[in-house]
Structure 1
Amino acid sequence: MKKQLLLLFSIIMAGTLLFTGCVKVDYTKIDSPAYLRVFNDLPYTRSLDVKDAKVPFFCMIINPTFDASGKVSGGQIVGDFLDTREPYAPPYPSHIGSSTSVNNPEYPGKENVLVGPILNGYDLSSWAQIPSGKLRVMFLYRPKNTVPYFKLENALIGDVMVDTTLDFSAKEVYTMHLLQQKYTDSKSNKVLLRQENFQKLPLSDSLNYVNFYNYSAEGFVEADNSKKQQPINVNNLMYGIRDRMDVYLTIYPNQDEDANARNLQGREVKGFNGQYLTTMVRSTTLGTPATYVSYPLFPDKAASHITTKSWQVFDFYSPGTNPTNSPYYFSDYDTQGNWGTINCIADGQVYVNGNIGQRLPNTVINIHSGVNNPQSFASVNTIEVVNGAAYLMTIQRKYPAPQY
């Protein structure tokens, strides 16, 4: 009887593994690949002026194939269910294995494809391998449902937003954006391909790095505020910023304490109160990487140099205005595009800055490393401002010791 029960249990377990646990994925080796990551920066518009605009939900196809009638029928690479991006793109593939929705906030994201290696110490697992050379790239509108693109009704297949040919060099890293060039004009939607250079730079492990892009559409900041799409949250970026903005950095020492402080004024780390970093110029056509600027991983002398709770505030001011002569206040949301704020703090309500600016995660990576739990690591960051919202992409370049 015991042997029969063991045999029955083995059969059940084998069947369970066969139907649920063992999924074979066939990968095609790519010789001399390039590395690609794609973000859909197009907004869901909600004003009456654009009530008939198509929903920005896409299927991406690289090197498409066509049937006898000329309609697209497949492709070498298919990235389906591409939705509008999320505010934070972390330094690891956070979406793979997620089963709550088929919607993909980036490519590769949830796609089970060959990804990039660790290249010169940088983790490229959030970038997909693609063939190098000239590739035809298409983005096709699709209904917002859970039906795979090529299983849709025939009438719903073939609605093209972008059809272009792009050149990808082997072993190079690319970030692609779907952008709106002119506000409320869906015909101006386009692809911007940015060739990254972070993996080639001699960056220090003791410094954090960040660069900035304003990918907002022409005419967004000048448009009627009541007709602008719903922002990520209510803040002083929601109505847009001007085409040329100076960027200032303020660092606070302790996000646990500062998150509950009623007044942050006077708590800044010495030497990092409204420090000018760079000037950001709006462009939806320039594919070259912006210059990275740096700040210390451990800006506070009181830090242990193993871990830090410091966090960052980035302020964007129009030229001629800065933290020392700003006419705007912490209750101002509509600054006519002259001031915007990003608070890089993980948790809690920031009473002074968090009530006015958009909140994003800390640029310092705090994770378990060996006997240290946590340990702080510097990172390489990109901040992109698009039509009233800010997005943060973080890249990790130094890895923790094994946990014991």
Structure 2
Amino acid sequence: MNRKFVNKLALIPAIMMMVFVVGCNKIEYTDLADPAYLRVFNDLNYTLNMQDKDNKYPSLCMIIDPVLDASGLPTGGRVVGDFLDKREPYAPPYPSHVGNSASVQNPEYPGKESVLVGPVLNGFDLSSWAQVPAGKLRIVFYYRPYNNTPFFNLDESLKRDVVVDTTITLGVKEVYTLHVLQKDFITKKNGILLRQENFEKLSLSDSLAYVNFYNYSAKGFAEADYSLKPQGSNLVSFKSGIKERMNVYLTLYNGQIEPTKATILPSYRGKFMGTVERNTESNRVSPYYSFPLWAAAGSNGITTDLWQRFEFLAPELDVFENPYKDAPGNVSQTFANYASANCLLNGKTRINSGSSYLTNGYLLPNLLVNVHSGTNNPQTFATVSTIEVVNSNVYLTTIQRKYPVPIYK
């Protein structure tokens, strides 16, 4: 046999071993003995109009305890969250972005990042929260170009544009949600708000759904001229924003398949839930309000077709009067007096209807989760949810605390 051919054959096992080692290269995680749990949202909105045409697109890089060279240029950090893009309208009760390689852009942190995440704590799945060091930390957010180049590989001139540089203090095994947001609409001042959550410490019922509300809009946004406000708000009636103080009402409907034919539950028609006030400084947690999972007549304790409508009204308005009377033909020009969110299906459906309760177009997902569980397909589970209004956008974060029964075959 040709000796050169034999020598080449001898190389095959070595080559295969190299491929195997490279293909099985595992991710090394830093073990944290006493971590805190952190989730980060980029609430900065990009407004496309003549006045703001020179504004930067809010693509960010987060660095906790940055390592700086002699010139102050960041070269590393204790925790790095790169490609932090604008947040999406819905943050579901599971880490939905993991494994999504279609784009490096990340709508939240940890999101797509391969990092240690939180455990199940008091029945709550914290896998959408990253484990980070507890204690006093320096946290810096930098603007970065909207491209695929990692932050530390960018040109030096592109690594000095600081959005926020501050310190935070995190408690051991405490749960935090951090928002990067605009504090003042006129001056364009940006900042952060770190909220220490308490949902994992509350005694909650599996038969009730819970929700709380925040208005993290910038100072002066609601009063600004309508022409200066973003054109692409995810729910049309929020385009004008909402005022400093708003009352929140809940209406429950039965029937998601044909929502325009849904019936209202009489005891939950315009039910007052509470008041929300604009705040971009205090990290206080808003109170949770609840409604029963099995509120509809004839509920069998397994599944329900309920969906929710939340209406935000200025205190001088009544929930049963016509909020559009001062803006005929324009449901987005509400002068910040009124906004509404319909929560049904998966939130990706647009309802084209003349019905008065579905005129705000795109939806948010249902606060009740319907999934296959054991022999039940589907089964309805309650959630703990948060609705946050930021200028002309509204966001829903949902956490599930009771889970489907495993399916054995």
TM range, smaller chain:
over 0.9
Rounded to whole Å, the distance in 1 between the matches of 2:80 and 2:365 is 31
- Tell me the residue number matched to 1:250: 251
- Tell me the residue number matched to 1:296: 292
In the alignment, does 2:68 pair up with 1:47?
A: no
- Tell me the residue number matched to 1:341: 340
Rounded to whole Å, the distance in 2 between the matches of 1:357 and 1:199 is 34
CA offset at residue 17 of structure 1? 5.2
> More deviation in 296-305 or 74-83?
296-305
Rounded to whole Å, the distance in 2 between the matches of 1:348 and 1:377 is 24
**Contact between 2:210 and 2:385, CA under 8 Å: does it hold in 1?**
yes
* Closer, same or farther: CA 364–138 of 1 in aligned 2, 3 Å: same
Match of 1:374 among 372, 378, 384: 378
CA offset at residue 316 of structure 1? 0.4
CA offset at residue 219 of structure 1? 1.1
Superposed CA offset, 1:155-201 (max 9, x none): 11121111101100001000000110111533x10010000000000
Listed as ranges, the matches of 1:174-323 within 5 Å are 174-186=176-188, 188-233=189-234, 235-258=236-259, 260-261=260-261, 267-323=263-319
Listed as ranges, the matches of 1:29-68 within 5 Å are 29-68=31-70
- Tell me the residue number matched to 1:390: 394
- Tell me the residue number matched to 1:141: 143
Listed as ranges, the matches of 1:2-151 within 5 Å are 18-19=21-22, 21-151=23-153
**Contact between 2:73 and 2:156, CA under 8 Å: does it hold in 1?**
no
> More deviation in 232-241 or 193-202?
232-241
Rounded to whole Å, the distance in 1 between the matches of 2:45 and 2:401 is 31
CA offset at residue 15 of structure 1? 6.9
**TM value normalised by structure 1:** 0.92
Rounded to whole Å, the distance in 1 between the matches of 2:297 and 2:257 is 17
AA aligned opposite 1:32: D
Rounded to whole Å, the distance in 2 between the matches of 1:62 and 1:232 is 31
**TM value normalised by structure 2:** 0.91
> More deviation in 343-352 or 57-66?
343-352
AA aligned opposite 2:378: P
AA aligned opposite 2:264: E
Rounded to whole Å, the distance in 1 between the matches of 2:307 and 2:15 is 52
Rounded to whole Å, the distance in 1 between the matches of 2:294 and 2:352 is 21
Q: Which runs of 5+ in 2 are unaligned?
A: 1-9
**Contact between 1:208 and 1:379, CA under 8 Å: does it hold in 2?**
yes
AA aligned opposite 1:157: K
Rounded to whole Å, the distance in 1 between the matches of 2:339 and 2:149 is 40
Match of 2:321 among 325, 328, 336: 325
Quote the sequence identity (%).
52
Rounded to whole Å, the distance in 2 between the matches of 1:280 and 1:303 is 31
Superposed CA offset, 1:75-122 (max 9, x none): 010000001000000000000110111000000000000000000110
Root-mean-square deviation (Å): 2.1
